[in-house]
Amino acid sequence: MSHQQLAAFNFFKGHPSTDLLPTEAILEASKSVLTTFNNSMAHYDGRDNTHPLNYGPDLGNLEVRSLISQWNDRLFQLQKPTDPDCINLTNGASFGLMNALQQCTYPFDDVTKQIFIISPTYFLINSVFIDSGYAKRFTAIKELDDGELDLETLRRKLEAFESKSPSKQKLTPEDIWRVHDPTKPMKKIYNYVLYVVPTFSNPKGGSLSIKTKMQLIEIAREYNMLIICDDVYELLDFSLSEKDGIPNKRMVYLDRETLPEGEEYGNVISNATFSKILGPGLRTGWQETATPKLALALSAGGANMSGGTPGHLNTVIIGELLKTGRIDEIIHTLNEKYKKRADTLKKAVLKYLPKGTKISATEGGYFSWITLPDNYDNQKIAKECFERGVILATGDNFEVAFDPQGWGEHGVRVSISHLDSSQIETRIRIWGDLCRKNKI
């Protein structure tokens, strides 16, 4: 079987199928920006708003940040307008995570002690933390079957780390001398980090309740912990087509609304991206914080200040899509098509996979988590599926490094983003046939 044939039926791939990419909308917005830019957006003053082909301001063009703020305020129906200075433009969520670790953590001298990662986790995320100096300092916090988290373990682990080595209440430049530039203000450094996908998680598809989000924020404030939320799937909510549909509230808004008096930074970074809704090739996203001071700190890295906001031209093109409202039409179309694929997947699982198979709710995002019954050899079946041209992502791919939880024994992540409804049904049928042949 050729590589091309294998790629065509890949349930592992969390990429949008090419027919869903809004090529025409991007082309029109690009033309508008590059041919009529003096009229299409605010005056480029060379300071807050620079020409799209020039270096961008460190935080990104103010007009683009204002458009994102107003867009989010409308979608999430926020009562208080968002300060655009709480937004730092990035070139996507992966870069945003790396940037947050570089600007807000210190892997030396037991300052940032531990990284907590929700398990199972996005399969490529471990390397980002390892590259930042945190190898073997990972703790897995289980996502439960209802989408909530094992908060009891999180608290117990934090207490144990603090008991062993109490965190210093206030750091000085001497404490973080390896990353402190004496010409710049003191960084805000956190003692712990929690990485989470709060809504339609990757890979299990669960969503945290407001109660759990607030509990996490309270824990974070108590232990000087930074919560990095990959807020990438909220708008891919299949219920948003209903009248007055509101996406799940982001944790950063809860942090902002309940900010303790005198707190200058907050404890949450919303690490968002346009990759899932406009196309990953644009490499554009944003970080949103509870206060402007934390967003400014995120924009103040040496590389960012040298080159200006990354992907500056693409941020202005996306600003045009926000300004015209075209982005809302694109998201509406995506939700209609992904909902159809999700419905096909659920029906096919019930029809073709063994009795007792469990499937997550799959109410939004890219992924569904499927759990085979105990009397099936998950790994053997996946291998035989591969030989038949059906690539499954078994749960062992989504373990937190150095702290495995055994997800590969029965769990499989299935993506609905890459295959259409017909391909989904026929390949689930092949999977079911192989399950029947491999019952233990």
4 belongs to a structural domain: no
Please say which residue of 308, 327, 346 terminates a domain. 327
Q: State the CB neighbour count (10 A cutoff) for residue 58.
A: 18
319 shares a domain with 204? yes
Across 112-224, the runs of DSSP E, i.e. the strands, are 114-119, 138-142, 192-196
144 shares a domain with 76? yes
312 shares a domain with 383? no
1 belongs to a structural domain: no
Q: Shortest CA distance to 86 belongs to which of 307, 256, 320, 285?
A: 256
319 shares a domain with 337? no
State pLDDT tens for residues 178-217: 999 999 999 999 999 999 999 999 999 999 999 999 999 9
Q: What is the CATH number of the domain that holds 342?
A: 3.90.1150.10
Q: What's the domain count of the chain? A: 2
161 shares a domain with 147? yes
pLDDT at 1 over 70: no
Q: What does the pLDDT read at residue 75?
A: 96
> In 3-state terms, what secondary structure has residue 149?
strand
Contact present, 105 and 274 (Cβ < 8 Å): no
Contact present, 67 and 75 (Cβ < 8 Å): no
Query: 3-state DSSP helix/strand/coil percent for the chain, to nearest 5?
Result: 45, 15, 45
pLDDT at 37 over 90: no
State pLDDT tens for residues 305-336: 999 999 999 999 999 999 999 999 999 999 99
Please report the DSSP string for 172-200 in residue order.
-TTTTTTT--TTSPPP---SEEEEE--SS
DSSP character for 376?
B
CA torsion through residues 57, 60, 66, 69, sign? negative
pLDDT at 438 over 70: yes
33 shares a domain with 17? no
3 belongs to a structural domain: no
State pLDDT tens for residues 155-165: 999 999 999 99
83 belongs to a structural domain: yes
Question: Could you list the residue range(s) of the whole structural domain that residue 350 is in?
Answer: 9-21+329-438
Q: What does the pLDDT read at residue 72?
A: 98
Please report the DSSP string for 8-50 in residue order.
HTBSS--S--GGGS-HHHHHHHHHHHHHHHHHHSS---SSSS-
Q: What does the pLDDT read at residue 3?
A: 42
290 shares a domain with 221? yes
224 belongs to a structural domain: yes
What's the mean pLDDT in 401-420? 97
Least confident of 4-8, 34-38, 221-225, 298-302: 4-8
- Computed over every residue of the chain, the mean pLDDT equals 94
371 shares a domain with 275? no
Q: Which amino acid is at 50?
A: T
Please say which residue of 292, 327, 362 terminates a domain. 327
State pLDDT tens for residues 291-313: 999 999 999 999 999 999 999 99
371 shares a domain with 418? yes
pLDDT at 249 over 50: yes
Please say which residue of 327, 351, 377 terminates a domain. 327
Q: State the CB neighbour count (10 A cutoff) for residue 46.
A: 11
